[in-house]
Chains A and B, each alone.
Chain A
Amino acid sequence: MAMIAADNRGLRLVTRYAVLVLIAIIFVFPLVFMLMSSLKPDQQLLQDSGNLRAFLPVGDISLQNYTDAFQRAPVATFVFNSVLVTGVTVALSLLLCSAAGFAFVFVRWRGRDTLLALLLATLILPFETIAIPLLMMVANLPWVGMEGLTWGWLNSYRVQIIPFIADGLTVFLFVQYFKDLPGELIEAARVEGASWWQIYRKIVMPLSGPIFATAAILKFLVMYNQYLWPLMVTQEEGYRPVMVGLQYFFQLNVAWGEVMAYLSMITVPVLAFYLYLQKAFIASIASTGVKG
């Protein structure tokens, strides 16, 4: 009996892993295909694409596509723009949205519930529906900078950053998480004399590692993958991010090898960062047992 039970368990384990491996292959192979193709000249790339060789580093392997990609497009500028816009937006968004979530959960003020409901209602609006009104708005907004007062935000970093700092989803994530923090911790801090800012900074922030990590990942993905909005508001290549930069490779004759090289350059670092963040994410959950 025990033998059969052990066999059954072994069989179940093998089956489970087989299914998981299959799913993993389905997800990983496009990535492998992209990486391998980026190393091959166009002609070989097209020949290989019908068979398994497409996933293997065989044939005429070189980094030529990468060199060519750099020549065709200002890759460094695009990457710099994306990193800048994404980094600044994520940082400001975490700060602003968590502070908003804090105010919605811990501070009592008139109209709080109504405003939260309105904010949540924005979740059902897809970005495409507000893209045009937003464009018209930012095209006419004033700005005081180095050149003094100017009108219109087009062709700038701020037009890619400011509209995306606050969003309903991120605030909602923080609100939900903060609601689960024990209210007595906040009250204890108040009785001890802490200001709202001190409570936010010294009590709530340190206990909210997991949600900061989650919100950062989600916001990062949204910002890094921005395409429509930067396409609408940046005509100068000096301000364009990586996704818009992809257009440079789809002109009269598409150089697939260069496309793959460009895509590898803009996705692999992000994947690596994501894997690292995932580890940090799990670690942050483990270290902040709120129940103590």
Chain B
Amino acid sequence: MARISLKNLKKSYGQTHVIKGVDIEIEDGEFCVFVGPSGCGKSTLLRMIAGLEDISSGSLVIGEREVNDLPPAQRGVAMVFQSYAIFPHMTVRENVAFGLTISGASKEEKDAKVAEAARILQMEHLLDRRPSQLSGGQRQRVAIGRAIVRKPQVFLFDEPLSNLDAALRMDMRMEIGKLHNQLGATMVYVTHDQVEAMTLADKIVVLKDGQVMQIGAPMDLYHDPANLFVAGFLGAPSMNFLKVKVHGVNGGKVLVSNGALDPVEVSGKRALFKVGDEAILGLRPQYLSVAQGAGKLHGAVALTERLGAETVVEIALKDGNPLIAALSHDAVFDIGAQMNLDFDPDRAHLFPNEPGAGSVNKH
């Protein structure tokens, strides 16, 4: 078991900088998820840890050793690939035992370890089959089996569930969670699926354009996103962003409003706001509710989606901007009906209106 430390890690292809100085500490036994939109560099970062991509500069430590220049085999890592990468010409048994065969293990040792891995992954009955005779989920088990049989210090998963259908993905997600509890190994997991990130991770690293946007526990990131990108990336439906004007600053509290929002005092800890500033108010759809009284936000119903347990309503605000509310019950609304909404100001997030803030990359 081992901790992983990435210090100012960089990767460039000629003049193209893919990873722009990343610092991450992953504790021993931790389940760390790299999440971000396509092209954010998360897979490259994982491949750098695996040793499949060279490190341009910075330091990568696994356990106590700096492994920058070590080949993959000497880093004590095992990797599960998106396409499973199981060898088509070998049986499941040979696939799972491949690493042991390479390291010259005896037949008895191989048999014992393969049997144990097969038991953990419930695939004893598949051992003599060929990969072509397996379903997607079974192939994924074989790939995981090949990883666990060597008892590596670190497991690396590169979008392992993205080739599976939705139902199987949920099953395998839970299995990977269980596997982590069972093995207690350090795991690094790359995904673009925020549900996988939120459910599996002890620690989430949100990446964008080769830079770390925020690192933290899933609920910390959800409840306290450090910037607009993280706020918009985590949570479904995505957080609403309203452009507001600052009318007063009182200690940590900031009074804001706009054409559709009555003046409301929210926490303004993320920047020094001044009266007259423009800012972005972030409101999660789940924390909006239909107002009993006058409410704080005013608009008209534009579209409703009834999902049974919740109702997602798109509202055209008085100032013309759209707003999504996820109401936690089944409700019927007439299109065009006036609607007043309320929210808890403590659950609102105020962000400075930086250049480009409007183009939050939603996923």
Q: Chain A residues near B185: list those with CB within 8 A.
A: none
Q: Is the CB of A190 within 8 A of B73?
A: yes
Q: Is the CB of B81 within 8 A of A187?
A: yes
Contact segment of B98-106, B225-233, B282-290: B98-106
Partner of A291 from the list B88, B98, B102, B150 (CB cut-off 8 Å) is B88
Q: How far is the CB of A288 from chain B (nearest CB, A)?
A: 6
Q: Is the CB of A184 within 8 A of B81?
A: yes
Partner of B85 from the list A185, A288, A291 (CB cut-off 8 Å) is A185
What is the chain B residue whose CB lies nearest that of A198?
B102
Distance A292 CA – B133 CA, assembled complex (angstroms): 8
Query: A290: CB under 8 A from chain B?
Result: yes
Distance A145 CA – B82 CA, assembled complex (angstroms): 54
Q: How far is the CB of B182 from chain A (nearest CB, A)?
A: 22
Q: Is the CB of B78 within 8 A of A207?
A: no
Query: B317: CB under 8 A from chain A?
Result: no
Q: Chain B residues near A290: list those with CB within 8 A.
A: 88
Q: How far is the CB of A72 from chain B (nearest CB, A)?
A: 50
Q: Is the CB of B98 within 8 A of A292?
A: no
Distance A291 CA – B221 CA, assembled complex (angstroms): 40
What is the chain A residue whose CB lies nearest that of B82?
A184
Q: How far is the CB of A210 from chain B (nearest CB, A)?
A: 13
Q: How far is the CB of B67 from chain A (nearest CB, A)?
A: 13
Q: Is the CB of B89 within 8 A of A182?
A: no
Distance A182 CA – B132 CA, assembled complex (angstroms): 15
Instruction: List CB contacts (< 8 Å) of B122-145 with chain A.
Output: 130-132, 139
Q: How far is the CB of A113 from chain B (nearest CB, A)?
A: 14
Q: How far is the CB of A211 from chain B (nearest CB, A)?
A: 14
Distance A193 CA – B86 CA, assembled complex (angstroms): 15
What is the chain A residue whose CB lies nearest that of B103?
A193
Q: How far is the CB of B259 from chain A (nearest CB, A)?
A: 53
What is the chain A residue whose CB lies nearest that of B84?
A184
Q: Is the CB of A184 within 8 A of B103?
A: no
Partner of B83 from the list A184, A189, A191 (CB cut-off 8 Å) is A184
Q: How far is the CB of A180 from chain B (nearest CB, A)?
A: 13
Interface string of A269-292 (1 = CB under 8 A from B): 000000000000000000011111
Q: How far is the CB of A95 from chain B (nearest CB, A)?
A: 19
Q: How far is the CB of A31 from chain B (nearest CB, A)?
A: 38
Q: Is the CB of A193 within 8 A of B87?
A: no
Query: A192: CB under 8 A from chain B?
Result: yes
Q: Chain B residues near A187: list those with CB within 8 A.
A: 50, 52, 72, 79, 81, 85
Distance A96 CA – B50 CA, assembled complex (angstroms): 30
Q: Chain A residues near B51: list those with CB within 8 A.
A: 190-191
Query: A203: CB under 8 A from chain B?
Result: yes
Q: Chain A residues near B146: list those with CB within 8 A.
A: 188, 192
Q: Is the CB of A182 within 8 A of B85?
A: yes
Query: B77: CB under 8 A from chain A?
Result: yes
List of 9 A-B pairs having minimum Cβ-Cβ separation, nearest first: A292-B88, A193-B73, A188-B85, A184-B85, A192-B99, A292-B131, A206-B89, A191-B72, A184-B81
**Can you give 10 contacting A-B residue pairs, CB < 8 Å?**
A184-B85, A187-B72, A191-B78, A192-B102, A193-B102, A206-B89, A207-B87, A207-B89, A292-B88, A292-B139
